[in-house]
Amino acid sequence: MSLEAKIGPSILNADLSQLAVESQKLLDNGADYLHLDVMDGHFVPNLTFGHPIVKCLRNKIKEAFFETHMMVAKPEQWITDMADAGVDQYTFHIEPVDDVIGVCRKIRESGMKVGLAIKPKTPVEVVEKYVEMADLVLIMTVEPGFGGQKFMDDMMPKVKHLRDHYPSLNIEVDGGVALNTIDCCAKAGANWIVSGTGVIKADDQRSVMMQLKSSVTNAIAQYSK
């Protein structure tokens, strides 16, 4: 599998009352996918939106790739609903889950791709046990739960470890990723880039996403040699 650079804006920082309009604008400006942050008020203290909102968004936006980032205590609870809502990839945190393999199977049986996410304090070795079950691994570069946090560059060794050991794995980073932090993410080996504030609040979204993608594409060319 050849790696591709993909930019997925997090819509958490968008005007949620204009979600479809804002999401379509991001796609028109070059987004490769939409990263939808689902928080339950338990696994993380914040509360965002659930499958009814995702379904409404899918009714407006037919073609885009939707990734839900499930920051929830019981990810198994929402698999069927999110599949029904039109989600393409279901990325969940392994920390609160007893049967990670079982959840992965249910996600795949529902027709969605599997993403595995870990918080900053979770060692990369914990997720390594399940890499064979996953389409993507998400390394959080902030504590999950709120947008606008400072990027944690000490998470980059996790990314590099995964890239060194799993050359064809899709590796995503999320949290504080913007033009000033993209190069270290790209060089470490991340190829799926979530950017919230850095893209949503930009005066020129298209230019920012092009620069983010260019950095990752150049890095892939280097470490794929």
Residues 6+ apart with CB under 8 A from 38: 48, 49, 50, 54, 68, 69, 70, 71, 72, 78
Neighbours of 21 (CB within 10 A): 12
Residues of the chain with pLDDT under 70: 1, 147-148
pLDDT at 172: 98
- What is the C-alpha R_g of the chain? 16
Identify the pLDDT of residue 83: 98
Dihedral sign for Cα atoms in the order 106, 111, 117, 123: positive
pLDDT score of 12 = 87
CB 171 within 8 A of CB 190: yes
pLDDT of residue 1: 56
Predicted local distance difference test score (pLDDT) of residue 225: 75
Name all domains of the chain by residue range, CATH numbers in brackets: 6-223 (3.20.20.70)
Q: What is the predicted pLDDT for the residue at 145?
A: 82
Q: What is the pLDDT of residue 10?
A: 95
Enumerate the active-site residues.
37, 174
- Summarize pLDDT for 48-88 with one digit per residue, the tens: 999 999 999 999 999 999 999 999 999 999 999 999 999 99
pLDDT of residue 147: 65
Q: How far apart are CA 52 and CA 113, in angstroms?
A: 20
pTM, whole model, 2 decimals?
Answer: 0.97
CB 162 within 8 A of CB 125: no
pLDDT tens-digit readout, 187-198? 999 999 999 989
